[in-house]
């Protein structure tokens, strides 16, 4: 069947799709419908932290699928409580709310922050976010996402968001007013191009939030679950946020998101928030198995080790190819930037050579492989990148 032609006929034209159709995945490899194999350094958009079809995930999905797959949001199930307990026991937070995606988790977090603003900050409701951030595609999260090209088609956007430059404490301070209830940031900006702030930045933001009595929300939808080389990015930054949001790696491919908070801002009362699939037993059973494995097998430790090896290899490529202007990364989230708009060409040439990478900006590609990869996969990726870079300039 001609999946590509059919996709053009039946799907909305909302994104520039890759010219391949995936039918199978295993670990860090995927296969298209012609049987071609690809080394997957995109991982379903930084989702498959344990790789594709990891047995831990597949077994949890099958086992729970035979028992109970949905309950109404006002009835608890054991997987939901088990996952909540595991997340709380391995973080600085005391409460969890489950959602089905990253954007929803951020929506929930902003609602919780506004609740706090109403209860404790004289009705303050504004949330300060960063330019080049990415917080999701709902209307409110489009307003939160500091990238004008996502915002323009949907103006007017919901009010209550202010976008300021990232890694700029002065800009945050200047934007803070009596209307501010929270600052929401990614520890490392993912979609914005893998932008890593100075080591002092989040500490300064934390101190500012404490001084003003406002909340710090960290969007760890992409950086959480080990991606940066620790379970959460906030641990690397040496701070504790008031609220965190998660999705992607939390389910390794099943749609689950969550936000967690500290007790001081645990302000919802019955009726304040809800979601039909929030805490769905099928997703939570998978989430529980995935998170347990991540923690028990120190998957973040592997991301740190292999991420370092990857970055060293990328630095060598930068030496070899002067049109690479920057390589940067933390754990297994990395980017290669060029002196002109080669992102698309590099992505497509990698595809031809059997490797998936993501064109994150016109002049940069992003690497976000499963966190279980070893040196062998990194060597293979560096070989393919090296080969491609010879041809694209």
Ligand X SMILES: Cc1ncc(COP(=O)(O)O)c(C=O)c1O
Q: What are the DSSP E strand ranges found in the chain? A: 22-26, 29-32, 37-40, 95-99, 126-130, 161-164, 180-185, 215-219, 243-246, 257-261, 324-330, 333-338, 355-356, 358-361, 364-367
Nearer to ligand X, 28 or 244 (CB): 244
Nearer to ligand X, 77 or 358 (CB): 358
3-state secondary structure of 260: strand
Binding to ligand X in span 245-284, by CB under 6 A: 247
219 binds ligand X, rule: CB under 6 A: yes
DSSP string, 165-192: -TT-HHHHHHH--TTEEEEEE-SSBTTT
334 binds ligand X, rule: CB under 6 A: no
Helix, strand, coil tally for the chain in percent (to 5): 40, 20, 40
Q: Minimum CB separation from ligand X for residue 298, in Å?
A: 24
Q: Minimum CB separation from ligand X for residue 313, in Å?
A: 24
Beta bridge partners of 336: 327, 365
Nearer to ligand X, 313 or 369 (CB): 369
Instruction: From 146-154, 209-217, 219-227, 338-346, give the range in contact with ligand X by CB under 6 A.
Output: 219-227
Nearer to ligand X, 153 or 270 (CB): 153
Nearer to ligand X, 150 or 288 (CB): 150
Q: What are the DSSP E strand ranges found in 290-375? A: 324-330, 333-338, 355-356, 358-361, 364-367
| φ/ψ of residue 129, rounded to 5 | -125, 180
Q: Minimum CB separation from ligand X for residue 144, in Å?
A: 9
Which of 43, 44, 102, 331 binds ligand X (CB under 6 A)? It is 102
Binding track over 170-199 against ligand X, x by CB under 6 A = ----------------x---xx--------
Can you read off the two tokens belonging to residue 93? 């937070």
Nearer to ligand X, 121 or 163 (CB): 163
Which of 108, 136, 224, 343 binds ligand X (CB under 6 A)? It is 136
Closest CA to 160 of 118, 193, 209: 118
Which of 42, 60, 103, 283 binds ligand X (CB under 6 A)? It is 103
107 binds ligand X, rule: CB under 6 A: no
134 binds ligand X, rule: CB under 6 A: yes
Q: Are 363 and 338 in contact (CB under 8 A)?
A: yes
Nearer to ligand X, 259 or 293 (CB): 259
CB within 8 Å of 260: residues ≥ 6 apart: 87, 88, 91, 93, 94, 95, 96, 97, 243, 244, 246
C-alpha 93/C-alpha 26 separation (Å) is: 34
135 binds ligand X, rule: CB under 6 A: yes
CB within 8 Å of 87: residues ≥ 6 apart: 93, 96, 258, 260, 291
Which of 132, 195, 222, 363 binds ligand X (CB under 6 A)? It is 222
How many chain residues interact with ligand X (CB under 6 A)? Answer: 15
For residue 283, CA distances in Å to 79, 204, 250 come to 8, 36, 9
Instruction: From 59-67, 133-141, 229-237, 262-270, give the range in contact with ligand X by CB under 6 A.
Output: 133-141
Nearer to ligand X, 361 or 384 (CB): 361
Binding to ligand X in span 15-74, by CB under 6 A: 45
Strand order in the sheet with 355-356: 22-26, 29-32, 37-40, 355-356
Exposed, middle or buried, 6 (CB in 10 Å: 0-12/13-18/19+)?
Answer: exposed
Q: Minimum CB separation from ligand X for residue 278, in Å?
A: 14
Q: Minimum CB separation from ligand X for residue 217, in Å?
A: 11
User: Which residue has the CB atom at the shortest distance from ligand X?
Assistant: 102
Nearer to ligand X, 141 or 314 (CB): 141
Residues that bind ligand X (CB under 6 A): 45, 101-103, 106, 134-136, 186, 190-191, 219, 221-222, 247
């Amino acid at each position: 069947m001609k999946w590509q032609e059919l996709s053009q006929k039946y799907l909305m034209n909302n994104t520039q799709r890759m010219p391949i159709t995936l039918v199978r995945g295993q670990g860090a490899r995927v296969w298209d419908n012609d049987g071609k194999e690809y080394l997957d350094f995109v991982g379903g958009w930084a989702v498959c932290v344990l790789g594709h079809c990891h047995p831990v995930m597949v077994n949890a999905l099958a086992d729970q699928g035979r028992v109970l797959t949905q309950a109404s949001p006002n009835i608890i199930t054991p997987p939901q409580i088990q996952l909540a307990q595991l997340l709380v026991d391995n973080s600085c937070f005391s409460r969890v709310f489950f959602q089905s995606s990253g954007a929803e988790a951020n929506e929930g977090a902003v609602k919780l922050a506004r609740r706090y603003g109403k209860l404790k900050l004289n009705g303050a409701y504004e949330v300060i976010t960063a330019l080049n951030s990415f917080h999701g595609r709902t209307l409110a999260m489009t307003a939160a996402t500091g990238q004008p090209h996502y915002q323009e088609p949907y103006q007017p956007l919901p009010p209550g968001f202010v976008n300021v430059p990232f890694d700029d404490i002065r800009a945050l301070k200047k934007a803070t007013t009596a209307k501010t209830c929270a600052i929401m940031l990614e520890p490392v900006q993912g979609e914005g191009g893998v932008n890593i702030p100075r080591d002092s930045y989040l500490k300064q933001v934390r101190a500012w939030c404490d001084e003003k009595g406002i909340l710090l929300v960290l969007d760890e939808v992409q950086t959480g679950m080990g991606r940066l080389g620790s379970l959460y990015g906030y641990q690397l930054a040496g701070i504790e946020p008031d609220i965190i949001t998660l999705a992607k790696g939390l389910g390794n491919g099943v749609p689950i998101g969550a936000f967690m908070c500290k007790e001081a801002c645990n302000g919802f009362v019955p009726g304040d928030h809800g979601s039909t699939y929030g805490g769905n037993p099928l997703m939570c059973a998978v989430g529980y198995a995935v998170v347990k494995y991540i923690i028990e097998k120190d998957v973040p430790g592997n991301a740190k080790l292999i991420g370092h090896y990857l970055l060293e290899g990328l630095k060598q490529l930068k030496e070899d190819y002067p049109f690479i202007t920057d390589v940067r990364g933390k754990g297994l989230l990395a980017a290669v930037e060029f002196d002109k708009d080669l992102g698309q060409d590099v992505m497509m040439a990698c595809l031809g050579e059997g490797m998936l990478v993501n064109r994150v900006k016109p002049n940069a590609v992003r690497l976000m492989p499963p966190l279980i990869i070893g040196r062998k996969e990194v060597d293979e990726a560096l070989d393919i990148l090296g080969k491609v870079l010879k041809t694209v300039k």
